[in-house]
Amino acid sequence: MKKIILIAFVLINTVACAQKGPKIEFKDKDNTIDYGTTNKEDDDGIRSFEFTNTGDADLIITNVQSTCGCTVPSKPTEPIKPGKTGKIDVKYNMNTGPIRKTITVESNAVNVQEGRVAIKIKGEVVEKPIVNLLEKKSTSPMMN
């Protein structure tokens, strides 16, 4: 009987302790930002992932790493206090074609496995349409 009570006590304390500490919650649905369809000339490629520390201790972002050199993330340098928000800026180089990139965020958050969470960007970069000013327009009143 004493062993069962001891095991129950240890399990309850383990569960209670696992809930304490910093927690990271991203604002964007599925931790994804959609660039939509855009072009290099009109878009600088910078987006910000906003997050909140919903835990009860300082959240420290230790590393933010992209899957390739075409996406450059930057992390907060200061700890994020409980209840406060922070952001991770991501700059994509806007090469023509589909955007499907994953950025790994490493922190001391207790609500994600090993303190790691994946954030993603998606969308498509297209060539900007060329407008020919010399081309005749079919809707011109002079053409009637």
Average pLDDT along the chain, 144 residues, taken 10 residues at a time: 59 58 95 95 95 97 94 95 97 95 97 96 91 64 55
Predicted TM-score (pTM) of this structure: 0.76
The reported pLDDT for the residue numbered 16 is: 47
The reported pLDDT for the residue numbered 130 is: 78
Mode of pairing for the β-strands spanning 71-74 and 85-92: antiparallel
Task: Label residue 105 exposed, middle or buried (CB < 10 Å: 0-12, 13-18, 19+).
Answer: buried
**Cα–Cα distance, 59 to 109 (Å, whole number):** 6
The reported pLDDT for the residue numbered 131 is: 74
